Amino acid sequence: MAKKSDKKPPSEKYADGTTYKDSKGKTRRRVSSPGTKRGDAYCARTVSQKRTPKVKVRRKAWGCSGKKSVG
């Protein structure tokens, strides 16, 4: 019998503080800063993106409400 896949839910996979490798192979951390100018820029940039599970989780972590980041 085939083993059931152990997939992480998007809320864990893209959670705040998780690590990922960028295009150059360098390890980076996903860290959000809700309620800041940086947060407002992120929310404004992602407001028109397609609502994939990753975008939904990250916008929630950033505290996005429309184009603004509320901490």
> Over the Cα atoms of the chain, what is R_g?
14
Is 41 inside a domain boundary?
yes
Query: Is residue 69 in some structural domain?
Result: yes
pLDDT tens-digit series, residues 12-31: 999 999 999 999 999 999 99
- For residue 51, give the DSSP letter: -
Q: Amino acid identity of 65?
A: S
3-class secondary-structure state, position 28: strand
Cβ atoms 44, 36 nearer than 8 A = no
Cα–Cα dist 10/51, whole Å:
13
Q: What is the pTM of this model?
A: 0.82
Question: Domain range spanning residue 55?
Answer: 32-71
Task: Give 5 or 29, the one with higher predicted confidence.
Answer: 29
Number of domains in the chain: 1
